[in-house]
Every structure is written in structure tokens, then in C-alpha cells.
Structure 1
């Protein structure tokens, strides 16, 4: 239902020095109709042109400082409210590649009353200047 709103391509940017980016970042929203504790986010898979980026390269920041996906597993005191953008940071030498690319995000969420994980995904075509 909310999948088409997960990725905000207008926020896509490289991180690190302008002449030698060390990664990229973009804002994303939760694909579930209620907020969730960060420990309930089981997966945040980021892909460029179908190539999934390593889990270790992904960081998440809902406004209280970046966490690795492993650190999120025990972040019991932090939440991602519905409708609030969070920053997804990716460590990737060279940053986001210039040109036309497809950026994808998959969220797998553990919801207490569902007997299966809630999975939401979004893919956007991006023309990135580099």
C-alpha cells in the first residue's frame, strides 16, 4: 500500500569528500501503517540495478545517530514513526554511480500480530549527475 513512497529520490546524495565520495545516502519512509521499534526491522536491502549491496555497508538513522543493521537488532529504545523519513546511508567507494540507474529498497518487518514478516519494496529510476 505504501510501497511507492519508501524511497525519496530527491534526497539521493553522495557522502564524503566531493572529489572522492565514500558512499551515498537517501531518505526513506516506513512501509507499514504504524511506527515500529528499530529492533523489529529485520532487513533493509538496498540494490542498484538489481545488484544487492552488502548488509555491512548499510546504516540507518532515524534522527538519533546512525546504526548498523546488527546494532538495530538491539536498539529497543528507538523507533521509526510512520510518515517520518529516515536516512539510509551506504558505504560504497565512489558513491552512487552517475547516469541512469534503478535504486531499490526492500524492508522486512517483524510485526507482533502477523505470523509472517511484512515485506515492502520500492524501486525508482534515478538520473544521477554524480
Structure 2
């Protein structure tokens, strides 16, 4: 339902030193109609051009500091509110590749009253623009 709103394409930026980026980041929204505890987020899969990036490279920050996906499993006191932007940080030597690429995000959520996981995906054609490069 909210899949097309997951990736905030205009937020894409490289992280680390401008001359040698160590990764990239982008803002995302929750694809579920209610807020959810971070411990209920089972997966955040990030792909570039169909290549899944390693789970260990992904960090999540809803505004209280970045967590690994493994640390989120026990983050019982933290929530991602519906409509709120969170930052997805990805360790990726060289940062986001130059040029236009397909960026994908899949969120797999454990919802207490559903007998199956809630899976939401968004894919967008994105590139780092001049404004994004200047903000990095």
C-alpha cells in the first residue's frame, strides 16, 4: 500500500570523506500503516542494480543513533513511527556508484496480529545529484 513511499530518493548521499566515501545513506519511511517497535523489523534489504548488499553493512537510525540490524532485534524501547523518516546507512567502499542506478529497499516486519510477515518493497532509479554531493 505504501511501498512507493519507502525510499526518499532526494535524500541519497555519500558518507565519509568526500574524496574517499565509505558508504552512502538515504531516508526511508515505514511501509506499514502503524508505527512499529524496532525489534519487530526482521529485515531491511538494500540492493543496487539487483545486487543485495550484505546485512552486516546496513545500519538503521530513527533519530536516536544508528543500530546494526542485529542490535535492532533487542531494541525493545525504540520505535519507528508511521510517516517518520529514518536513515538507512550502508557501508559501501566508494559510496554510491556514479551515474544512475536502481536502488531497492525491502522491509520485512513482524506484526503481532498477522500470521505472516508484512513485506514492503520500493525500487527507484536514483543518482547522486550536485545538491546531494554538496551535502555529503
TM over 0.5: yes
Distance 1:100 1:6 in 2: 19
Match of 1:105 in 2: 105
Q: CA deviation at 1:9?
A: 0.7
- SS of residue paired to 2:127: strand
**TM-score normalised by length of structure 2:** 0.94
Q: Which has the higher strand share?
A: 1
Task: Show structure 1 runs of 5+ residues with no match.
Answer: none
Matches within 5 A, 1:73-112: 73-112=73-112
Q: Offset at 1:127? A: 2.6
> SS at 1:128's partner residue?
coil
- In the alignment, what sits opposite 2:65? 65
Aligned residues: 130
- TM norm structure 1: 0.98
- Which residue matches 1:11? 11
Offset of 1:100 from its aligned partner? 1.1
Tell me which stretches of 4 or more aligned residues in structure 1 moved more than 4 Å.
Answer: none
Cα distance in 2 for partners of 1:22, 1:91 equals 6
Q: Which residue of 1 aligns with 2:118?
A: 118
Give the whole-Å Cα distance in 1 for the aligned partners of 2:98 and 2:63.
28
Q: Distance in 1 between matches of 2:48 and 2:92?
A: 11
When the two chains are superposed, the root-mean-square deviation of aligned CA atoms in Å is: 0.8
In structure 1, C-alpha distance between the alignment counterparts of 2:93 and 2:86, rounded to whole Å? 22
For structure 2, the residue ranges without an aligned partner over 5 or more in a row are none
